[in-house]
Amino acid sequence: MLKQSVIECLDRMERTIESSGRMLFSGKRIVDGVELLELIDRIRIALPEEMRQAEALQSERSRIAAESGRAEAGPSSQASASGEITARAREEAEATLAQARREAFEIRAGADDYAESTLSSLQETLDRTSFVVRKGIDELKRRKSGPDQ
């Protein structure tokens, strides 16, 4: 499995949803749930790595700012800023996961609606067919019992 960033996974998820088939008379789509769940798993895997990378970038930025003499804040302020960045990254990650879960729920609900509609239509067809078969059997029995009856 290739390592993908959160953004790449979200882009792929968006393309999957946009290219999926639409249900008639609704804005719902029919998508590959397995593929979307796999992308959600990849996002879960990629998020911790991207947070570590963000923290490393923040540390590097602070180091460069300190070396260039532009750093006005002390170490406690830098640690606080780093903690805030980490907290924001976690909040964004949680929001992204919550959105993905909501979309997955909507996709599953759409698939359930589609399946229910298809099965109901099939049931109606079977009922009509059963009625025609029953009438045919009755007609054959009537013929068998005599021509004038």
Q: What is the pLDDT of residues 62-110, one digit of tens each?
A: 778 777 765 455 555 556 677 888 888 889 989 999 899 888 888 888 8
Whether the Cβ atoms of residue 96 and residue 10 lie closer than 8 Å to each other:
yes
Q: DSSP secondary-structure letter at 72?
A: -
Pair of tokens at residue 30: 């029919």
Whether the Cβ atoms of residue 89 and residue 56 lie closer than 8 Å to each other:
no
Residue 1 lies in a domain: no
Residue 48 lies in a domain: yes
What are 23-27's contacts with CB under 8 Å, separation 24+?
23/110, 23/113, 23/114, 26/110, 26/113
Rounded CA separation 59/50 (Å): 14
Residue 149 lies in a domain: no
Residue 88 lies in a domain: yes
Q: How confident is the model at residue 1 (pLDDT cuts 50, 70, 90)?
A: very low
Number of domains in the chain: 1
Residue 125 lies in a domain: yes
pTM: 0.37
Residue 108 lies in a domain: yes
Structural domain range at position 117: 6-144
* % of the chain residues with pLDDT over 70: 86
Element (H, E) at 22: strand 21-22
Residue 62 lies in a domain: yes
Residue 114 makes CB contacts below 8 A (sequence gap 6+) with 23, 28, 30
* % of the chain residues with pLDDT over 90: 15
